[in-house]
A and B are shown apart, each in its own frame.
Chain A
Amino acid sequence: MYRYFKTIRLFWSTAFASQLEYQLNFLIELLAMLGTLLGSVFILSLFFTGGRQLGDWTWESALVIQGVYTFLDGLTNALLRPNLTEIVNYVREGTLDYVLLKPIDSQFWLSVKKFSFAGLPEIILGLSIVFWASFQTGYSVSIYSLSVFIISLFFGFVILYSVWFLIAASSIWFVKTWNATEVLRALLAAGRYPISAYPVILRFIFTLVLPVAFLTTFPAKAILGELNLIILFFGLILSSLFFIFSRLFWKFALKHYTSASS
């Protein structure tokens, strides 16, 4: 276990050093992020014109969802995108062989090798919105609701990671998976809004098939102290299933892997 922590520390400090060279990039990312957030909040506000609500969510509580989405998006940009989009290149260039030879779990190595620090401001801003907006609803955050929030957020992230990793792992057969990732990203955008605002069929799909609800709506409910513990338990099962499946799938994919050079 200690070995894994040490590896992460080494990976990320190298990443930090190399990214210090691209300060302009960092600035552009920051601007794009602020613009995106401003735009999303503006579009969200249109749903509330004339004192309306969105799927029984008030303006302040809908902002909590927006904050959770921003946080997860930041985590995606910092960790998932830089690592999982690289898998395709390893397969194409045959360098996956070197990864497989390393005395460390290959899925772990591929998932944490890089860390994009440009995602950090979004992570911080997302969390700030969550706490500010939940404070605005008049609800005071307790240690209990905070811990349920963290746990449900963790389950959500595991689901997100597993789905993304599954698509990335399929590059062993298809090589180009960039477009499939775009489809996933487009569907995940649905998480910007409360699941209860969607028609019934989509609510079902976003809860059980592609569990977008566990990514944003449920953690937002958790911090507002409204999350049913049964749902939390359900999240535990669902995220475990997704994670186990991603590992089994990776093992299966590796059996079918023939190196690019052979």
Chain B
Amino acid sequence: MRIFGLSFKVIKTLLTTQYAYMLEYRIEIALWALSGVLPFIMFSLWSQSDVGNSFGLNDIGLARYFLSAFLVRQFSVVWVVFSFEEDSLSGRLSPYLLQPLHPLFRYVASHLAEQATRLPFALAIAITFFILNPSSFWLPSLPQVFLAYLSTHFAFTIAFLLQSLVAALCFWTEKSSALERLIFVPYLFLSGLLVPLSAFPSNVLKVAMLTPFPYLINFPAKILSGMQVDIFNGFLAQILWISILIPSVNILWKLGVKRYTAMGA
């Protein structure tokens, strides 16, 4: 059986080696999980203000939304640009390009491995949150968990493809991590990490929904926290973005590799 042209054996090897590698960095990954506290800071603010009611969320709803947003972010964080820039500048990229394996697959594997390593820390933070806010405790139903899991994976895919586009620009400029900042800004404000998007004025919301960002946090988090959400259209939008981004990344990579002259050459 082959998935994306990779045999099962290759996939297994990639994932197990990357997982072993990630396990060495458990403390850093724990700290990284902790650096995702932003939704909790925002939760403490929104819960103090009575604005929450005006966009249809009571304290419990807010707590559940922001915990879900935290979890979705933990499993959709992408850092391809930074790894790729380092590999490209240090010359490690050249041997990767010679192998009959697209370099991006190596990064996909390391992201998935990192998510697996992060799972216990994310759960520990979630449990701490429930201990501090016992009234917000809830267990999502199995279909909810399944749909949230699926949409988080799609969110990860979109984020990964977006960053791969930027990473491919590394073939032209050495500073694609600076360009990454330009994607991060709309991601921060339009993804729903700081506030559920239902709080947006309707005209801003309309514009935001035309971008891929609300499908990266807001959509999966709404499913997980059990808020009202248009599941069909959400998934449709996610799949649409993925099908636009895959060919774009492919084309830009092919152009980039052609242009590539190894560092020091």
Interfacial residues, chain A to chain B (CB-CB below 8 A): 22, 24-25, 28-29, 31-32, 35-36, 39-40, 42-43, 46-47, 49-50, 52, 54-55, 176, 178-180, 182-183, 185-187, 189-190, 193, 197-199, 202
> Is chain A's interface secondary structure helix, strand, loop, or mixed overall?
helix
Our pick among A47, A50, A54, A198 for the contact of B44 (Cβ within 8 Å) is A198
A35 touching B35 by the CB < 8 A rule? no
A49 touching B51 by the CB < 8 A rule? yes
B189 touching A43 by the CB < 8 A rule? yes
Q: B3: CB under 8 A from chain A?
A: no
Interfacial residues, chain B to chain A (CB-CB below 8 A): 28-29, 31-32, 34-38, 41, 44-45, 47-51, 54, 173, 175, 178-179, 181-182, 184-186, 188-189, 194-195, 199-200, 204
Known contacts being A29-B181, A35-B186, is A202 close to B35, with CB within 8 Å? no
User: Closest CB-CB distance, A223 to chain B, in whole Å?
Assistant: 23
**Nearest 10 CB-CB pairings of A with B:** A39-B189, A179-B31, A35-B185, A182-B35, A32-B181, A183-B35, A179-B28, A186-B35, A28-B178, A179-B32
Instruction: Report the bound CA distance from A42 to B184 in whole Å.
Output: 16
Q: Name which residue of chain A comes closest to B199, CB basis.
A: A46
A179 touching B35 by the CB < 8 A rule? yes
A22 touching B175 by the CB < 8 A rule? yes
A28 touching B189 by the CB < 8 A rule? no
Q: Which chain B positions have C-beta within 8 A of A190?
A: 41
Instruction: Report the bound CA distance from A189 to B28 in whole Å.
Output: 20
Instruction: Report the bound CA distance from A54 to B179 in whole Å.
Output: 34
B41 touching A50 by the CB < 8 A rule? no
A39 touching B36 by the CB < 8 A rule? no
Instruction: Report the bound CA distance from A178 to B29 in whole Å.
Output: 11
A-B pairs under 8 A by CB, number: 87
User: Closest CB-CB distance, B177 to chain A, in whole Å?
Assistant: 10
Q: Which chain B positions have C-beta within 8 A of A32?
A: 181-182, 184-185
Known contacts being A198-B44, A198-B45, A199-B44, is A46 close to B195, with CB within 8 Å? yes
B49 touching A186 by the CB < 8 A rule? no
A43 touching B195 by the CB < 8 A rule? yes
User: Closest CB-CB distance, A63 to chain B, in whole Å?
Assistant: 16
Known contacts being A36-B185, A198-B45, is A46 close to B51, with CB within 8 Å? yes
User: Closest CB-CB distance, A108 to chain B, in whole Å?
Assistant: 28
Q: Which chain A positions have C-beta within 8 A of B175?
A: 22, 24-25, 28
User: Closest CB-CB distance, A55 to chain B, in whole Å?
Assistant: 7
B34 touching A183 by the CB < 8 A rule? yes
Given pairs A179-B28, A189-B38, A198-B45, 5 additional interface contacts (CB within 8 A):
A25-B175, A35-B185, A179-B31, A182-B35, A185-B35
User: Closest CB-CB distance, B263 to chain A, in whole Å?
Assistant: 18
Our pick among B32, B34, B178, B184 for the contact of A25 (Cβ within 8 Å) is B178
User: Closest CB-CB distance, A70 to chain B, in whole Å?
Assistant: 14
A202 touching B34 by the CB < 8 A rule? no
Q: Which chain B positions have C-beta within 8 A of A42?
A: 189, 204
- Give 27 pairs: A residue, B residue, CB < 8 Å, sorted on A: A28-B175, A28-B178, A28-B182, A32-B182, A32-B185, A36-B185, A39-B185, A42-B204, A43-B194, A46-B195, A47-B45, A52-B51, A54-B49, A176-B28, A179-B29, A180-B31, A185-B35, A186-B35, A186-B37, A186-B41, A187-B41, A189-B38, A198-B44, A198-B45, A199-B44, A199-B48, A202-B44
